[in-house]
A and B are shown apart, each in its own frame.
Chain A
Amino acid sequence: MSEVNHWRRVVLWWLGTSIVATLLVVFLLAPIVPPGNGSVEASGQVVDNTVLLGISTPIAMAVLVFFIYALIAFRERDTSAVVDGPPIRGDAKVQTWWLVATTGIVLFMAGYGTVRLLADGAGGGQGPNPIAAPAGARNALQVQVIAQQWKFTYRWPSYGGVETSSLELPSNRMIEFHVTSLDVIHSFWAYQLGVKADANPGFDNIAYVTTKGPMTFDVHCAELCGVWHGYMFESGRVVPPGQFSSWIAQQRLHNVPSTKSLPPYSKQYFPDPQRRGG
């Protein structure tokens, strides 16, 4: 039996590799991790991803280094005869420290995630009575997202309830999306804005986002909603406030006849069930 101090070697290998890997991941990988800096919430998600990557990389390295070390150092060199290893059946100290360490990490991550979530809702849908509303949510611009097979329509209660078929948002403004559906479950996903909120029939799902500078963003349906789900995407734009005002004014003018025949604005709609779509 060799008198090599395996523990020390594993720990040194782990320290070395995990410092390198964590630095690489945090400084090279994390900045390019989506959804990017399109909105305040999206930037927040990038920060969150960076923190999680920073925590999980050393953990992954610990397990990887251990396995690789064990597979090399403890391999049976002479497989002709079956020789048993030492009958070690456990180690209370190792088990206790493992439990303490993993519990600590988990509690930290859950606590951190909770704090980040409650700060501004992180762009996720949070039902009709959001508790994680960002500061200044009262003055947010309301946009209703009405999903149906296989299209999103946008309704603007503060602009006379006009409905538009495309989405333009003013820059540097807090938006309050009210996501609902007319038939089956959809999910409104504005990728670069870091917004995702499911659309359920008869239900108002609120998500907040604070836009930054002008940009183009993709909108996808992120919940399987039938045959043409794969085609339920489009792109929207964040534009300067002046350009937005003229766009919405133009939309109101253009849509006067159809706005008149729309049902009154409501936070949820209960259309007759479309029994067999296709």
Chain B
Amino acid sequence: MTSTTIPMSARQQPAWRKLVGFNLLTGIVLAVVGWLVGSWIGARIHAPSLDYFADTGENDIGILLGYLFGVIGFLIGLGFANYPIRRLMGHPASLAEHESEGEGIARYFRLCTDHKVVSIQYIVGIGVFFLVGGINAMLIRTELLQPNVHVFGPNQYVTLVGMHGAMMMGMMTSGVLGPFANWLVPLMIGSRRMAFPRIESFTFWLLMAAGVVLVTTIFMGGFQTGWTGYQPLGDQGTAGYDAYIGFFALVGLSMCLLGFNLIVTIITMRAPGMTWNRLPIFVWSVLATALLMMLAAPMLIAALLMGAFDRTVQTAFFVASQGGSSYLFQNLFWVFGHPEVYIVALPGFGIVLELLPVFCRKPLWGYRLAVAGMLGVALLSFFVWQHHLFVSGINADLRPFYMLSTELISLPTGFIFLCAMGTMWRGRIRYSVPMLFCMGWAFNFLFGGISGVFLSDVPSDVTTHGTFFSMAHFHYTIMGGLVFTVFAAVYYWGPKMTGFNFNERLAKIHFWTLFIAFNSTFGPLFALGLMGQPRRVVTYPTHLQALNDWVSISAFCIGISMLIFLYNLIWSMLVKREPAEDNPWNSKSPEFQLPTPVPIHDFDRIPVFDADPYPYGVESAPALTPARQGA
């Protein structure tokens, strides 16, 4: 039997009938209803009992409950309550996931448990918010064209900075695991689905709700804290800070569940023969990242809940005069925040090491070392967070320890570089677009890592901390590291995922413009930081204007480069629609042995693995059991 023949009863319905049911439209309607209900309940609680509200004229309880109920309404409207309620009412558990059935575009606008649909949803959804974050960055650089305030006021500027940071660090945290891990992990380990398909879909819609919550901060006066949301500054903030709390708490929840789902999938759903030492290196990086996500995100949620309680019911976790401490938030935030930056970086390592064997036509060099590197980064990243607080005065005696642990992270990161270098050694390197992006990663991450040395050394950090130097450093590691590898993955797996080829010439133009503009933007920022420009300031000394203008113009070039990509994406995927081959890169990875587009149930028969996916250069290498030969 072939699994692609799902009985579909094409019911004849009037058009309006299709809009009724559990879908995005219902979700939005119920979100608005939920918002109104939450605000109403908040308004009942407020006022007479707490005289504090009298001073502020603002009801944070109502706003936070509004967000909470709105999100719950959204999720109910999408149909996430159906299955639990059916089970509670005694209906038998069904092995079939009815949510994955159906065809056509409608599947992308509702709860769908097909991991391939969820990953496309993730790409588009995250892409939209990436665009919003990018536009924020363009606006920030527009303001910094002149040393004084000229386009935005200080409040708008600080809100833009915060939104850019939160959007990029919040939404893009799932930038690889959402789209690519969800799509690839089942195919790479030989499974037809994720361990918890409904949770998989849940994490996506939760993330979208979070993004919308963050955008609403514009209508609430913005937030003045940047993406770090430090208290007690946040405590002073207007209702816009409630949006920040809601946003990041939802992102944290989504992240935690996504990580949890991936861990369980990788541990329990591997096909026969997919032993731990045959696991593709990308899956290892996903596993390391997922562990970080699951363990780090609860810290963030806890910190934000304390902040929410401080703002609403007058607890004093972060208020020094009432026994709280501003350090508590900093510590909790960075216990989450430092693993977070590796959550962002690690999948990039996995993508690069997964792609290099294909484009160098060699097996992955030093597989175990690469695995050790990824797990080592993951482990060490929990022990370095106070390097963000080197000059804060907290635990100053422990600074030598944090200096050591921070610098130790360069060991496992060095493993990744060594494996990349070993894989290229005496290979037959082909310069396809994904390979170009991998090399872009290597260049950028090298300078990101080297500049990190200066930030990890306390005497150097005294000058560079909190300046554009540290900002340039983490843009080199995150934008130069993650974003470049995401584009490598988009060009590498994109045709396989969508079934349509990209225009290669535009892709090459995209790479070179992005690579040059990126370095031209963030290289000078190191100098600006050293010359004394702090982060997140709307004004700066006039003698820094020339360099700032250079940076701004380069940043606009990044924007243009991204528009080239967007044009290529729309032209190739929606207009030209040139069908992609099954295996355009001659990869030996299991996902490329499947037909394009990948059938709805992935494998006709669960494959059996008898080798790792890198048997390049081996004449009689046992090929992976081709799944399409099943049935």
Q: Which residues of A contact B (CB under 8 A)?
A: 6, 33-35, 41, 44-45, 48-49, 52, 55-56, 59-60, 63-64, 66-67, 70-71, 74-76, 79, 82-91, 94-95, 98-99, 102-103, 106-107, 109-110, 113-114, 116-118, 122-128, 130-132, 179, 183-185, 187, 189, 191, 194-198, 200-207, 218, 220-231, 270-278
Contact = CB atoms under 8 A, between A and B. Distances in A.
A275 B235 CA distance: 7
Q: Which of A84, A126, A194, A220: most chain B CB closer than 10 A?
A: A84
B132 interface: no
B400 A52 contact: no
B316 to A, nearest CB: 8
Interface in B500-525: none
Nearest to A273: B319
B19 interface: no
B615 to A, nearest CB: 8
Given A45-B463, A52-B454, A187-B466, 7 more contacts: A44-B459, A102-B410, A122-B459, A124-B390, A179-B393, A224-B536, A230-B539
Contact of A109 (B407, B531, B540): B407
A59 B450 contact: yes
B161 to A, nearest CB: 8
B462 A221 contact: no
Nearest to A71: B429
B537 interface: yes
A88 B367 CA distance: 11
Interface range for B? 35 or more
A270 to B, nearest CB: 4
B541 to A, nearest CB: 8
Contacts of B453: 52, 55-56, 109
Contacts of B617: 84-87
Contact of A196 (B395, B404, B465): B465
Main secondary structure of the interface of A (DSSP, over half): mixed
Given A34-B463, A48-B460, A85-B617, A275 B236 contact: yes
A195 B530 contact: no
B176 to A, nearest CB: 23
B322 A88 contact: no
Nearest to B615: A87
Nearest to A78: B428
B550 to A, nearest CB: 19
Contact of B326 (A34, A85, A185): A185
12 contacts: A35-B463, A60-B446, A71-B424, A74-B427, A83-B361, A87-B363, A90-B422, A113-B457, A113-B459, A201-B321, A227-B158, A273-B232
Interface string B415-459: 101100110111111110000000100110011001001101111
B481 interface: no
A85 B422 contact: no
Given A88-B363, A90-B365, A201-B232, A71 B427 contact: no
Contacts of B414: 98, 102
Nearest to B392: A198
A266 B319 CA distance: 19
B460 A52 contact: yes
A126 B393 contact: yes
Given A56-B453, A123-B462, A230-B157, A64 B56 contact: no
A205 B327 CA distance: 12
A170 to B, nearest CB: 22
B320 interface: yes
B146 interface: no
Given A66-B421, A270-B320, A122 B462 contact: yes
B164 interface: no
A88 B360 CA distance: 12
A275 B55 contact: yes
B4 interface: no
Interface in B323-359: 325-327, 330
B396 interface: yes
Nearest to A70: B424
B397 interface: yes
Contacts of A67: 421, 424, 439, 442-443
Nearest to B424: A70
